[in-house]
Amino acid sequence: MSVSHTKSSLGALTLGALGVVYGDIGTSVLYALKEVFATGLVGFTPDNVLGILSLFVWTLTLIVSFKYVVLVLRADNHGEGGLVAMLALASTAVQDKPHLRRVLLVVGIFGTALFYGDGVITPAISVLSAVEGLQVFSPALSHWVIPLTLAILFVLFWVQRRGTGGIGKFFGPLTLVWFVVIAILGVMHIAHNPEVLWALSPHYAAAFVAANPATSFLMLGALVLCVTGAEALYADMGHFGKKPIRLAWFSMVMPALILNYMGQGALLLREPEAIENPFFLMAPEWAVLPLIGLATMATVIASQALISGAFSVTKQVIQLGFLPRLQIHHTSAKDTGQVYIPLVNWGLFAAIVLAVVLFQSSANLASAYGIAVTTDMLITTVLTFFVVRYAWHYPLWVCLAATGVFAVVDIFFFASNLLKLFEGGWFPLLIGTLVFTLMVTWSKGRELLAKRQADEAMDLSGFLDAVFAGPPARVEGTAVFLSPQAGVVPSALLHNLKHNKVLHAQNLFVSVHSLSVPWVGLNERVRVQPLGHDCWQVELSFGFKNEPGIIMPLPAIRVNGDCSENLPMSDILG
């Protein structure tokens, strides 16, 4: 590969990461600072404004830059990221400790279930906060905010069945425009009040916390809004790779966010009454309406990324055996990752509509936001510890040093957000708990069924020897018998012999295994063991990112004689 091609690919991937990875965190400027001051916990003084701005800067630095971009992105599972990939990595690392592995599986699956709660709140608060800009443009338009928000969300979910391939190419450029615009808005106000840049020093954050410890703890529930979408950094690593994600963050996203927050702070220092909606009030009057349009497009892009993530996570969880098989439509002939799951799509939409109608404003939704996100952040830190300790084999003190600070920060954020439980935090928690209950119930049911079948199962090899001692009539063709476990007699075979009293000329006994790795290569996906009498045991293995398929691999199998050893796919493909 040439250097120029490498640079070109890196640029394209970095631009793509802007749209898909950073759409959510990029739109947090619409509501995060406003909600922190809306708590009414602190007086509106220059020192307090600088202290809160400094908390924003160092929350972004500590959680996003240090934790996710520097540390967590290193924990790739064969190039894949996300909570499911991290769970697979951690559980595999402790597979010699079955009790610990089971605990990690439960914790990881609960975190995955909470993703759906986040998937409801984030599109609702993002789109609603953008449309609320109409109130700044003209208070008379306030009654249109809810209907217009629901209309935009309906169109967004309706077009999901067409796939994101056609519109996805616009995500990166539009998001780039968004980050440039919010950076320019910030610079405009910083230029009028440059002393706001003192907030870049951690001294102001530390001084604010020291002077207001209880208030600082209570404010963490709103402060967490500035790191919405941080989990997307890790979840989308398989699509873009570490380098483009890191480059996009440090070169564009982080500077733009900090400049905009500083600009909002400069505006508030000069006009405290602008706290009503500091983001839109940053813009000149003539630019408010275009900014509302751009913000709406940015929030739609942020919501799209999360919806696509819900489809992807659902597919992976199905592969791991924690959800029943659902109807999955592939919307791209080239990218297997682009899928559409109708039940998930309209289930999310119904829950989002309920959230918008129930909470009515982005301020109220901010109270519901946080518990699901901070729980997932804490779970990611816990799983990262076990990966660093047992998969990377670092000394215990290194593991504690690498994850301990983040764990303490996550616990404080989580505890603060628990205070919002009865103000709306129950909503995403309820959704996550319902999904978790479904996952655990389905998995336990599969486990009990498999145990029952194993107790009643007969050995396939011995059964075939007995059958062919007095063989039934053979008919032309090939029969395929599916069995959840290799080496046991499928019930379909017993029924076929009982009712039809015949056996086909060739018989394939097929078992499908879902492994806790993202990908299984073609040369390892199919294994065949001859059983004699023109019968073969076929085992198909898929990772949770592979596209499972039984129809496609089977015609490619070519029998190479009656040998007794297992054959890899490379030896049996025609």
Residues 6 or more apart in contact with residue 551 via CB below 8 angstroms: none
CB half-sphere exposure, 477, CA atoms < 13 A: 7
Q: What is the pLDDT of residue 526?
A: 85
Name the nearest CA neighbour of 510 among 534, 488, 533.
488
- Which residue type occupies 12? A
Name the nearest CA neighbour of 372 among 186, 169, 125.
125
Alpha helix locations (H) across 193-253? 202-211, 213-223, 230-235, 237-240, 242-248
Distances (CA, A) of 288 to 122, 185, 189: 23, 12, 15
The DSSP secondary-structure symbol of 63 reads: I
* Token output for 38: 């809306």
CA 37 to chain centre: 29
Q: What's the CA gap between 99 and 102, in Å, rounded?
A: 5
- Which residue type occupies 79? G
Q: What's the CA gap between 42 and 301, in Å, rounded?
A: 34
Tokens 């905009």 sit at which residue? 260
Q: Mind giving me the DSSP string for 302-358?
A: HHHHHHHHHHHHHHHHHHTTSS-----EE--SS-TT-EE-HHHHHHHHHHHHHHHHH
The answer to whether 24 and 121 are in contact (CB under 8 A) is no
Q: Is 96 helix (H, G, I), strand (E, B) or coil?
A: coil
Distances (CA, A) of 548 to 239, 420, 540, 551, 556: 19, 42, 9, 10, 15
* Token output for 148: 């217009």
Name the nearest CA neighbour of 245 among 237, 254, 256, 235.
237
- Which residue type occupies 464? L
The DSSP secondary-structure symbol of 164 reads: S
User: In which element (H, E) is residue 498 found?
Assistant: helix 491-499
Predicted TM-score (pTM) of the model is 0.79
Q: What is the pLDDT of residue 568?
A: 40
Digits of tens for pLDDT over the chain (574 positions)? 333 335 557 888 888 888 878 888 999 999 899 888 877 777 778 899 999 999 999 999 999 999 999 999 888 777 777 888 888 888 888 888 889 988 998 998 998 898 888 888 888 888 898 888 888 777 877 888 899 999 999 998 888 877 655 555 678 899 999 999 999 999 999 999 999 999 999 999 999 999 999 999 999 988 998 998 887 778 777 777 888 999 999 999 999 999 999 999 999 999 988 888 899 999 998 999 999 999 989 988 888 777 877 887 888 788 778 888 888 776 665 555 567 889 999 999 999 999 999 988 888 888 787 888 899 899 999 999 999 999 888 999 999 998 999 999 999 999 998 888 888 889 988 999 999 999 999 988 988 887 887 777 788 888 888 888 888 888 888 888 988 788 888 888 888 888 888 888 889 999 888 776 667 777 778 888 888 888 989 988 887 666 665 544 444 454 433 333 444 433 433 3
Distances (CA, A) of 42 to 32, 46, 328, 504: 16, 11, 50, 80
The answer to whether 511 and 539 are in contact (CB under 8 A) is yes
**Percent helix, strand and coil across the chain, each rounded to 5?**
70, 10, 20
Alpha helix locations (H) across 132-164? 133-137, 145-158
Q: What's the CA gap between 444 and 441, in Å, rounded?
A: 5
Phi, psi of 557 (to 5 degrees): -75, 130
How do strand 329-330 and strand 339-340 relate by DSSP bridges? antiparallel
Phi, psi of 192 (to 5 degrees): -85, -15
How do strand 502-514 and strand 473-482 relate by DSSP bridges? parallel
Q: What is the pLDDT of residue 5?
A: 36
The answer to whether 62 and 407 are in contact (CB under 8 A) is no
* Token output for 525: 């996906």
Q: What's the CA gap between 527 and 513, in Å, rounded?
A: 11
Tokens 């990772």 sit at which residue? 543
Q: What is the pLDDT of residue 434?
A: 93
* Token output for 568: 């890899």
For helices 165-192 and 288-319, the axis angle rounded to 10 degrees is 130
By CB atoms closer than 10 A (0-12, 13-18, 19+), residue 428 is buried
Question: What's the N-to-C CA distance of the chain in angstroms?
Answer: 32
Q: What's the CA gap between 564 and 189, in Å, rounded?
A: 77
Residues 6 or more apart in contact with residue 252 via CB below 8 angstroms: 18, 176, 179
Beta strands, E only, 467-571? 473-482, 502-514, 526-532, 535-542, 567-568
CA 549 to chain centre: 24
Residues 6 or more apart in contact with residue 177 via CB below 8 angstroms: 294
- Which residue type occupies 416? S
Distances (CA, A) of 141 to 44, 132, 282, 363: 29, 9, 20, 18
